[in-house]
Structure 1
Amino acid sequence: MTATHISPAELRTAAPATDARALTGKRRIAFASFVDENYLPGFLVLLRSLALSNPGVCEDFIVLHDDLKPSSVAQIRALHPRVSFRRVDADHYDSYAKGDQDNYLVRKAYFILDVFKIRDYDTVITLDTDMVVLGSISELLSLREGLAAVPQFFYGQHKLNSGLLVIQKEYLSDEFYAKIDHVGRTGAYELDKHDQGILNAVLDGDFVRLDPRFNFVKRRLSGDLPVPDDTAILHFTGRHKPWQGGEAGYDKAQERWREFDMTDAELHAAYLAAGGTTHRDLLVHYGTPYVERTGDVNAARRVALAHIGAGDYQAAVDIMERVHIPVDEAWPHEVYGHALLAVSRYEEAKAQLLLATAAPNRAATAFARLALISWVHGDDAASHKYALQGLTVDPTHRAGRIWHQRTISVPAQQSGSAAEQLAHVAFYMDRQGNAGDKLLPESVRLAFDPDTTNRRWHSVHAHRLFDEAALERVNARRGMVIGGGGLFIPDTMPNGNSAWQWNVPDELLKRIDVPIAVYAVGFNAFDGQSYRAQRFRESLRLLVEKSAFFGLRNHGSIEKVRAMLPAHLHDKVRFQPCPTTVTRQLVAGWKDPATRDDTILINAAYDRASLRFGHDYGYFLAQMAKAVRELGDLAEVQCVAHSLDDERIAFDLRREHGVSMPVIPMYDFENDEIRELYARTKLVIGMRGHAGMIPFGCGTPIISLISHPKMAYFLRDIERPEWGVSVHDRNLAEVLVERSRDLLADHDRTVADVHGRQQELWKITQANAAELRTVLGG
C-alpha cells in the first residue's frame, strides 16, 4: 500500500485545531451491547466478569437499548464508570424482511445493528448479553483492521457468529450500514438468523477470523463437559439462559456463569482482592464505596494512588480523610502525605511523611518527599538533610539522589544590579534532566538579551513556592518573564496554589508590581488528563489580567486558553513561537554546518505512556522495528535520549525485535552540545516536543512521532502537517520511511524549506520583541 500525501489544507479540514484525538490519532475503543429488561441479569453478570477477568481494562461501554427502567440504568451505572446509553431506532428495523414472527428475537435481535451507526469510536467490540468473560481479551483490544469474529461452530469457517464482533472504523460508516439496510429490506439472507444472517450475507465470508476461545459457544460443551482453561469468553447460546434456570447437561458451564452472579459489595471486595494490574477508573469506582462501607485503610490507599495517578489530587486527599490510619501503617501515611503535598497543604503533608519514615520499605520515598517540601520552601539545607537520610536507607533511590544533587551546591544567585535584571520564572532542569527543558531557559533569555547570565537575569524556579521573600526580590527587578515550555500542565510538580507549574498563590501574584511577560508557554495537558479546572481557570485569568504580554507557543494552546477566559481577555492571548524554533537567529555567530553526519536520530518518549500509546505500544514497537531496518538503508539510525527513560525504545527494540541502535545520552549534554548534534544530523524523527522544535530551530529536517497534540499544533503553525505521523497510524513504518525518503532525496531543498518556515516564526518573534522592549525596557 502506498502512503498518501495529505496537504496542509486537507489536514486542517479534517479536524479542528484542538481536537486532541484527531491530532494524535489515538484510537477510541468502546464495548457495546444491546440490553433490555429480559437480558439485564445476563448483562450485569457480563459487566462483572469483564471487570474481574480483565481488571486492567476499562474502555467506554455503550449500552444500546429500546427502553430501560431507571432502576436498571442505576444498576448498570453501579458496575461500570464509563457507561453511556443510546436508544436504538427500533422502528427502523420493522421494514426488514423477517422469519418466524412468534420468535422473541424476531424484532430485538436486529437492534444490535445500531452499533454500525456509531461514528465517534475507532474500534467497537460488541458482546452479547448472554456471554461471560473468563480470560484476557487484550488481543481483541489490539486488533486494528477489518471486522473480526469467531466462525460459527456448526457452519464452518465461511460464516461468523455475531455474538462477539470487533469492528474497525471503516465498517462504522454510512456506506456499510446502507448495505445492511439493503439486505435487511430485500430479505436476501437467512431469515431465521436475524442480525447474524444479515451480516453473513453482507460480508460473504470476508471477515477476520478469531480463535474460538473468544466466543466459545455453550453447545461445544454438550454432555456437561468442563469449560476449557483457555476460554476467554463463554457464550450461552440457545433458548435456555443461566439466569432463567439454565439447561440440563451444561452444569459445569453454568457454574462458571454463577461465579459472577454476585452483589455489588461482593464485586467490590473481589476486585480489590484480585491480583495483577488494576485500572484506575475501576479501582476508584469499586474502591470508593468499599472504603465508605468498610473503612479499610489499604483500600483507601489504593484508591488514593489511583486518583494521584490521574492527577485528581484533591480526591486522593478526600478518600484518605475518610479513614483512620494507624500510626504504624507507613504506606497509607506516605500516600496521604503525597496527596496533601500536591494540594499545597505542606505542614499536614510533612506530618504524614514523617510518620511514614518509620518503616524501612517506605522511608526512602517519604524522605524524598520531605526533601521536596523543604526545597519548595527554599530551605536547601533541610532538603539536603532529608535526601541524605533517605539515601542512607536506599542509596539507589532515584528521587532521593535527585534532591541530594539539586541541593549539594546551590550557586550564588545574583551577580548584577537588581534594577538591570529581569526575573525569569522557568523550570530549571537538573543534571541528567530532560535535554529540551535544560536548553529552554537559555533560549528564552536569548530572545531578550545576548547575555543569559545572572548579570542580567534573576532565576525564579517555577516549582518553588512563590512567597513574600520571592515577591520582594521580583519587585526589585525591572520586569518578569514567565516561560517558556509547557507550564500549563497539572502533574509534573502539582500544587494547590495555581494548579499549573508555577507555584504562585493568587494573593502574591496580585502584588507583583513589575511588568509581566508570559513568553512561549504551552498548554501541555494530554487528552484525558485531569485538571483542577476551577483553580486553574482562576489563576490563569488573573495571570492574563496582570500580564503586559501573554504569548503562547502554538495556536492550539491559544485556542485552549482562550476557551477558559472571558471574551474581553481573548485578544491579550497571542502567538509567540518557542524560541528553540529560531535558534539559528538567536545564537550569536551561528554558522550552518558545511557538512552533516550521515545519521538519522530517533527519539521516543515514555512519560505518561498510557496516555501516549493506549493499547498500541506493541504495535508501535513492531512498526518502529520495521522502520528502523528500512531507514538503515538511508543513513545510520541512532537513538537520541532527551531523558534517561527515552532509552527504553532501544532496549525494547533489541529485546522484542532484535533491532539495535546506538544510544546518544543527550541528557548529559551541555546546551551547545545539544544544538551542535542536532545541527549536524540529516533528519530527526522525534516524539518529544523539543525533539522536533530544537532540531528545526537548528535548521534540520524533522518528522514528528505524534503522541501529544502539541507537535501537531506546531506542524500546523508552520504549515507542514505532513512532517508528522501518529504513533497509532495503521501504516506507521511505511509512512515514516516514505516521508524520510522524500525529505532526504533533495536534502538541500528540504533544509531550505526548514529555513523558510523558520523565517516566518522569526518575523513574529522580532515583532513581539519590539513590543517587549517597550514593555520591559532594556
Structure 2
Amino acid sequence: MTITTSAPVSAPTADASALTGKRRIAFASFVDENYLPGFLTLLRSLALSNPDICEDFLVLHDGLRPDSVARIRALHPRVVFRRVNAGHYDAYEKGDQDNYLVRKAYFILDVFRIRDYDTVITLDTDMVVLGPIAELLTLRQGFGAVPQFFFNDMNRKFNSGLLVIQKEFLTDEFCARIDEVGRSGAYELDKHDQGILNAILDGDYLKLDPRYNFVKRRLSGDRPVPEDTSILHFTGRHKPWQGGESGYGQAQERWAEYELTDAELHAAFLAKSGLHRDLLIHYGTPHVHRTRDATTARKVALARIGLGDFQAAVDVLEQADLPVDDAWAHEVYGHALMSVSRYDEARAQLLLATAAPNRAATAFSRLAQTAWVQGDDAAARAYALEGLTVDPTHRASRLWHQRTTGVPEQQSGSAGDQLAHVAFYMDRQGNAGDKLLPESVRLAVGGEDTSARRWHSVHAHRLFDEAALRRVNARRGLVIGGGGLFIPDTMPNGNSAWQWNVPDELLERIDVPVAVFAVGFNAFDGQSYRAERFRSSLRLLVEKSSFFGLRNHGSIEKVRAMLPAHLHDKVRFQPCPTTVTRQMVSGWQDPAVREDTILVNAAYDRAGLRFGHDYGYFLGQMAAAVRELGKLAEVKCVAHSLDDEKLAFDLRREHGISLPVIGMYDFDNPQILDLYARTKLVIGMRGHAGMIPFGCGTPIVSLISHPKMAYFLRDIERPQWGVSVHDRDLAARLLEAAGALLGDHAASVADVHGRQQELWKVTEANAAELRTVFGG
C-alpha cells in the first residue's frame, strides 16, 4: 500500500449513501393535467395520514403546466420531476390504440428506469391515503403488491395501483423484459401496465395486505370504508374529483376529507404530533408568515436547529409574535441566536425563558453555555448553579457547572517554547474517543511531552477573541486538530460555521505558523453546512496554514471541492494519530495474551441520519450476530458515551439478550488504550471505535453509518472490514468478517500492524516537516 501525502486524489468523490449503504427510498406517480386534482389530494392525504414520513416523491409526467408544477411543489418539500419517454411505449401492443388514457397507462413503467433509489413505492393518482404505511418503507426484498380483487387466479395476479419495487427490479434487464412482453402483446391487453407486469412475474411477488390497496369495488352498495384501510383506491372510470359514482358515497366522503386549501392543510398538519421535520418546515414556514403564530414558529425553528440551519431558525422566529410569557419560544429563540453568535440578543431571550419553571433549567444551562463561550467562567458557573437549583437532575446544567468549577489555571512554561493547540477538550463522562484526541495530536506533532509545559490549550468552542489572539501570537506556532472539527452542529457558531469559533478578522491576524493536523470532514449523509460562511472561513484557513492535513482522503475530496483550484495541493493527507498509537507511545508493549472478548459499539447521536427506517432491522440483525459471535468469544458492549448503552438496553428489551456494558466514558486515556489493546476484536460504529483499537494493533470490523468509516477503510485498503448498518445480510456479513479475522488471529494482528506502518510513514514525514515549520 502506497499512501501519498500531497498528490491530488484521482478518484471521484463518492456519494455519501453509496459509502454508508443507507437505503434511498422514493414514492412515484405518473401525473398529467387530467389526474392532477387526484394527485394533489393524494399528497395531502399522505401528509395528514403519515405526518412522520417524508421521502422523495418522483413525479413522472409527459408535460405539466408551470402553475401545476408550483401547486405540486407547494404540497411536498422533496418533489423530483422526471419526464417520461412517452414515445417508447408506442410500439407496445394495446387493447385500444386510439384512447389517450390507455396510452398514458403505460407511462408509469418508466419507474423501472430509475437507478438512483433502492426502494420505489408507486401510487396511482386515484388513491387516497387513510392510514399508516410505514411498514411499506421497511420492506427490503421482493416485488410487493396487493392481489387483485376480481379474477385473481389464486392470488397469482396483483393490482398495480401500489407497487413496492426493490432495486433488483430497477435494472436494464427487467426493462428489457417489459419491452419484450409489451411489444409482443403476450399479456392481458385490457390491463395495460398491470397486464405486462403480471405476465412477467406470473405470481412470483410479495403479497401485501389488501388494506394497502383497498379497491373501491369492495365497497359496492355504499358500504363504509373499513377502519384499518391504509390506502383507498378509486378504480374504475368515475373519479372522485369528477363527482364520483353512485353507490360509493361513503368512500367519496373519505376522499373529500382531503380536498383542502393550502392554509387548511397547513393548520390540520400542524395540529398533529410526531411530525417529520421536512414537512414541518415546508408547511410551518408559510403558516408562520401568514399567521405569525409563536407555537408554530418555535416548532419550525427547532426543526431547523435539528438540521443545523440556525440562521433559518432565527429568521422564522423573527417573523412571529412571541408573547413575553411564552418561555419555550424564547428559549428556542435564544438557542438559535447563540448558534449564530448573536450572544447579547441570545442572553436577553434566554433570561425571559427562565421565568417559567418548566423551561428555566434548560434556559439557565444555555445562559451558562453562552457565558462560557464568551470566556466568563464565573457567570457560566452562576447560571449553571441556578439551573441545578431549579432542577438538581438537569444534566446540561451539571455539565456546565463541572466544566467551570475548580478549573486549574494552565501551567505555563516559557510561552516562546510552547505550541498553542486548538482542539475539542472533552468533559468528564464525555465521548471517550474525543478525550484521547488532543493527547494523540500532541504526541504526533511534538513528541512525548504533551503537558502544559509545552502546550497552550485553546478550546475550539470558546470564542477566539483579542485576548486569545494575543496568547496564541506569543507562542511559536498554532496546531489545530484533531477530530471531526468540520461539522456544523456540535457547538454551532456564526463566525466560522465549523467547530472553531474564530472570526475571520482574528484568524487573519494570527502571525505565527498555523498547522491543521488530522482534521476530518464529519458531515453525515443528509447533513449540510451554511455553505457560504463555511466556504469563506475554510478558504481563509487553508490560505493561512503552513500545513493543512486531513485525516482521510474522503475529507480531502470534500474540502478540495469547496476550494479554488490553486489551493487544492495545500490539502494533504495526515491520518488520525489515534491510528498509530503503538508507534507514538513511549515504551509501548503489545499484550502477550489477549482476553477472549469481542467488544461491540453502536452510536446513537443523530440516529435518524444513521439508521433511517432501518433501526428495527439493524437491531434484529445485531441480535442474530451477537448470538453467533458469543460462540467465538465473550461479547461485551463498549460505550464511548452514555447514549451508546442503548444497544445493550434494546437488545435485552427486544430480543432477550444480555450483554455486559463497559462505560468507557468514565475511562482515562491509558485505560482506553489498555482495554482496546487487550481484546481480540472490536466491532464499532463510532469512528474512534475503529481507529483507536486499530492504533493499538487490534483487528476491527466497522458498522458503517457515516461516510468517515468507509473513508478510513478505503485508505488502509481493507473495505472488507466494514459492513453497512443497512446491509440486507448484515448479520451474515458481520459474522463472515469477524470469523475471518478471528480464524487466524495472529495473521489478522500482523495485517493491522502492516497497515498501520504505512500510516506511520506518512505521520513521521509530516511531523518532520512540522518541526521545520515551527522551528523545533
State TM-score, norm by structure 1. Answer: 0.98
Which residue matches 1:27? Answer: 23
> How many residues get paired?
766
Counterpart in 1 of 2:91?
Answer: 95
User: Which of residues 592, 604, 616 in structure 1 aligns to 2:590?
Assistant: 592
Return 5+ residue gaps in structure 2 as ranges: 4-8
What is the match of residue 340 of structure 1? 337
- CA shift digits 1:511-551 (9 cap, x unpaired): 11111110000000011212111000110011011111100
1:17 is displaced (CA, Å) by 4.6
Counterpart residue number, 2:713: 715
* Residue of 666, 669, 676 corresponding to 1:668: 666
Instruction: Give, in angstroms, the shift of residue 415 of structure 1.
Output: 2.8
Question: Is the 8 Å Cα contact of residues 97 and 184 (structure 1) preserved in structure 2?
Answer: yes
Deviation at 1:81, TM superposition (A): 0.7
CA contact (8 A) 1:17 1:713 kept: no
Amino acid at match of 2:320: V
Alpha-carbon distance in 2 for matches of 1:323, 1:621: 42
Choose the corresponding residue for 1:468, options 442, 455, 466. 466
Residue deviations 1:725-765 (CA, integer Å, cap 9, x gap): 10000000000001111110000000000000000000000
Q: SS where residue 465 of structure 1 aligns?
A: coil
Asked if 2 retains the 8 angstrom alpha-carbon contact of 1:440 and 1:580, the reply is: yes
> By how many angstroms is 1:329 displaced?
1.1
Which residue of structure 1 lines up, in the alignment, with residue 646 of structure 2?
A: 648
Q: Which residue of 2 aligns with 1:434?
A: 431
Matches within 5 A, 1:138-287: 138-156=134-152, 157-274=155-272, 276-287=273-284
Query: Which secondary structure does the structure 2 equivalent of 1:408 belong to?
Result: coil
Q: Is the 8 A contact 1:93 1:111 kept in 2?
A: yes
2: distance between equivalents of 1:552 and 1:207? 48
Q: Structure 2: how far apart are the matches of 1:659 and 1:225?
A: 48
Provide the rounded CA distance (Å) in 1 between the counterparts of 2:151 and 2:528. Answer: 49
Instruction: For 2:101 and 2:149, locate their aligned partners in 1 and report how far apart those are by CA, in whole Å.
Output: 20
CA contact 2:13–2:558 (8 Å) conserved in 1: no
1:311 aligns with 2:295: no
The question of whether the paired residues in 2 share the 8 Å contact of 1:313 and 1:339 is answered with: yes
Q: Is 2:54 the counterpart of 1:47?
A: no
Among residues 675, 683, 686, which one is paired with 2:684 in the alignment? 686
Give the structure 2 partner of residue 3 of structure 1. Answer: none
**What amino acid is aligned across from residue 753 of structure 1 in structure 2?**
D
Secondary structure of 2:298's partner?
Answer: helix
1:16: how far off?
4.6
1:73 correspondence with 2:72: no
Task: Identify which of 379, 387, 391 aligns with 2:388.
Answer: 391
Letter in structure 2 aligned against 1:606: Y
**Does residue 551 in structure 1 map to residue 568 in structure 2?**
no
Query: Residue 18 of structure 1 contacts residue 560 of structure 1 at CA under 8 Å; is this kept in 2?
Result: no
Alignment of 1:323-472 (within 5 A): 323-447=320-444, 448-472=446-470
Deviation at 1:102, TM superposition (A): 5.1
Q: Residues 100-111 of structure 1: matches in 2 within 5 Å?
A: 100-101=96-97, 103-111=99-107
2:748 and 2:542 map into 1 onto residues whose CA distance is 38
For the residue of structure 2 that corresponds to 1:84, the secondary structure is strand
Q: Would the aligned equivalents of 2:144 and 2:163 in 1 still touch at CA under 8 Å?
A: yes
How far off its partner does 1:496 sit? 0.2
Secondary structure of 2:81's match?
strand
C-alpha separation in 1, matches of 2:98 and 2:531: 55
Q: Residue 4 of structure 1 corresponds to which residue in structure 2?
A: none
Cα separation, 1, equivalents of 2:550 and 2:436: 18
| Residue equivalent to 1:497 | 495
Quick check: 727-736 or 220-229, which moved more?
220-229
Verify the 8 A CA contact 2:574 2:766 in the aligned structure 1: yes
* Paired AA for residue 84 in structure 2: V
- Residue deviations 1:258-298 (CA, integer Å, cap 9, x gap): 00011111001111111x21111111111111111111111
**Residue 68 of structure 1: how far off its partner (Å):** 1.1
Q: 1:93: how far off?
A: 0.5
Q: Does the 8 A contact of 1:337 with 1:349 survive in 2?
A: yes
Is the Cα contact below 8 Å between 1:603 and 1:641 reproduced in 2?
yes
When structure 1 is superposed on structure 2, of 639-648 and 278-287 the one drifting more is 278-287
Shift of 1:103: 4.4
- Percent identical: 81
| Equivalent position of 1:125 in the other structure | 121
Identify the match of residue 295 of structure 2 among 295, 298, 303. Answer: 298
**8 Å CA contact 2:412, 2:456 repeated in 1:** no
Deviations for 1:76-113, whole angstroms, at most 9, x for unmatched residues? Answer: 01100110111111111110011134545320100000
Partner AA of 2:20 in structure 1: T
Deviation of residue 409 (structure 1)? 1.2
SS of the residue 2:493 aligns to: coil
2:456 counterpart letter in structure 1 = H
Name the CA distance, whole Å, in 2 between partners of 1:369 and 1:575.
37
Distance 1:461 1:356 in 2: 28
- The residue type paired with residue 75 of structure 1 is R
Task: Flag as ranges the 4+ runs of structure 1 deviating above 4 A.
Answer: none
Change (3 A) 1:733 1:574: same
Residue pair 2:551, 2:576 contacting (<8 A) in 1 also: yes
Normalized against structure 2, the TM-score is what? Answer: 0.98
Q: CA deviation at 1:20?
A: 0.8
Measured on the aligned residues, the alpha-carbon RMSD in Å equals: 1.2
